Amino acid sequence: MLLSLITSLVGLAVGSPLVSRVTQPPTFDNVTIFTPPSNWSNQWTTYARTVLLEQDGEANNTLLASWSFQPPGRTYAPIYQSKDGGLSWSERSKVYFSAADTADSIILQVFLYEIPQTIGAYPAGTVLLAANAVPVNHSSTNIELHASHDKGQSFEYVSTVAVGGGPNTTDGATPVWEPMILLHQGELGVFYSDQRDPKHGQKLAHQTSTDLVSWGAVVNDAAEANYTLRPGMTSITQMGNGKYIFSYELAYAPEDPVNAPYAIHYRIADNPFEFDTAEELLLKATDGTIASAGPQTIWTPAGGPNGTIVTSDSTNSEFFINRAYGDPSAWVKVASGKGVGYTRDLRVMPDTEGTVILVTNGGMYNRNQTIVSCGEWVVPSA
């Protein structure tokens, strides 16, 4: 989090279908999804997330997108839709949150996810939206979960996963931040940044559920022995070898405090609910660049025999790729052709054999005027 304001998870697990097309159409760039109207007093956008609807027989490459902003009047999270793979977008719905249901409240750090199997009363194809709802008096942070049974046309409140103190990145404050969703072996995990533990200025943790209503105990994912180190902004994806890679920023990291004060670290594990004991590794490219702040990490089968891990940070315009299942000596910084953005969203597009990534940029954090935009990027060959 540039101390916080949580991968996109792409569901490209072993055996996930990617249909090849004989002729790949030209990629596109600089598509505007949303620009704040000129009469809005708040002109900022940030922290965009997308989901590709793949369950329940969708065949038209429908995408949903959301982001954080502050519209006039009653606060909501926007849901926009594209039915042509990201070339054009239109508003689909507005999602209102229980803890941020008035003007001047705020909904931060949205995350979209489509469940691939039935969980409790929610069938495969249900679209989930998690976000951090902050009331107008900033008295609390609330990770709420909402569900859509009609592909994003409407949402209902499901449950509140975690509640913390007001938004404050000072050590000793108790907020929660940055939810991310992942299903594993019939359990849905909501991962988030957690400042409530007095042993840590901030840690990364998760809670799981089998019905989306009741949630288990808080389980640590990255809790540093040094109290002042602050891991944040969880991003998890499954690689082609079946293992999971978990990337996060580490505020006040010692490796390069000038150029990479939020150095990205990562861990690899067989089970995404068991990262706490996995080795912590530094994401450092072969040219010496350390990725820093707000990571988003995906894996695609394209680019080489082991596929390619692609990580976007919030400091560099370039991407960091790894064709060796996360070997720390194999990270390479490559041109993206995209502008730098705060936690740029990455999405492997269908019908491309994994070669095309949709990059969605919600705008840089703490800027007065930003837009939400997207464009495609082609994974380089080995």
Does residue 9 belong to any structural domain of this protein?
A: no
Number of domains making up the chain: 1
Q: Residues 6 or more apart from 17 whose CB is under 8 A from it?
A: none
pLDDT digits (tens, 9 = 90+) for 138-167: 999 999 999 999 999 999 999 999 999 999
**Nearest Cα to Cα of residue 158 among 115, 196, 203, 204:** 115
Does residue 302 belong to any structural domain of this protein?
A: yes
**Nearest Cα to Cα of residue 180 among 365, 309, 8:** 8
Rounded CA gap, 30 and 14, in Å?
Answer: 32
Tokens of 354: 């994994």
Say how far residue 50 (Cα) sits from the centre of its chain: 9
Q: Residues 6 or more apart from 37 whose CB is under 8 A from it?
A: none
How many Cα atoms are found within 13 Å in the side-chain-facing hemisphere of 192? 33
Rounded CA gap, 83 and 62, in Å?
Answer: 4
Mean of the per-residue pLDDT values for the chain?
93
Does residue 6 belong to any structural domain of this protein?
A: no
- CATH number of the domain that residue 293 is part of: 2.120.10.10
Does residue 55 belong to any structural domain of this protein?
A: yes
Would the pTM count as exceeding 0.85? yes
- Whether 8 shows a pLDDT value over 50: the answer reads no
Confidence tier at 197 by pLDDT (50, 70, 90): very high
In the predicted model, what is the mean pLDDT of residues 256-262? 97
Confidence tier at 61 by pLDDT (50, 70, 90): confident
Q: Which residue type does 6 have?
A: I
How many Cα atoms are found within 13 Å in the side-chain-facing hemisphere of 154? 2
Residue 227 to residues 21, 202, 208, 232, 324: CA-CA distances in angstroms?
Answer: 51, 8, 25, 14, 32
Does residue 4 belong to any structural domain of this protein?
A: no
In the predicted model, what is the mean pLDDT of residues 192-202? 99
**Nearest Cα to Cα of residue 171 among 287, 245, 107, 252:** 252
Percent of the chain's residues with pLDDT above 90: 89
What residues pair up with 113 in beta bridges, in sequence order?
A: 128
- Which structural domain range is residue 49 located in? 31-378
Does residue 2 belong to any structural domain of this protein?
A: no
Does residue 286 belong to any structural domain of this protein?
A: yes
Q: Cα torsion for 173, 188, 57, 375, to the nearest 10°?
A: 30
- Whether 195 shows a pLDDT value over 70: the answer reads yes
Answer for the pair 94, 110: CB distance below 8 angstroms, yes or no: no
Cβ neighbourhood burial of 94 (10 Å; 0-12, 13-18, 19+): middle
Does residue 20 belong to any structural domain of this protein?
A: no
Of 20-34, 298-312, 329-343, least confident by mean pLDDT is 20-34
DSSP code for 233:
E
Rounded CA gap, 228 and 92, in Å?
Answer: 42
pLDDT digits (tens, 9 = 90+) for 9-22: 333 333 333 433 33
Answer for the pair 348, 369: CB distance below 8 angstroms, yes or no: no
- Whether 59 shows a pLDDT value over 70: the answer reads no
Q: How many CB atoms lie within 10 A of CB 6?
A: 33
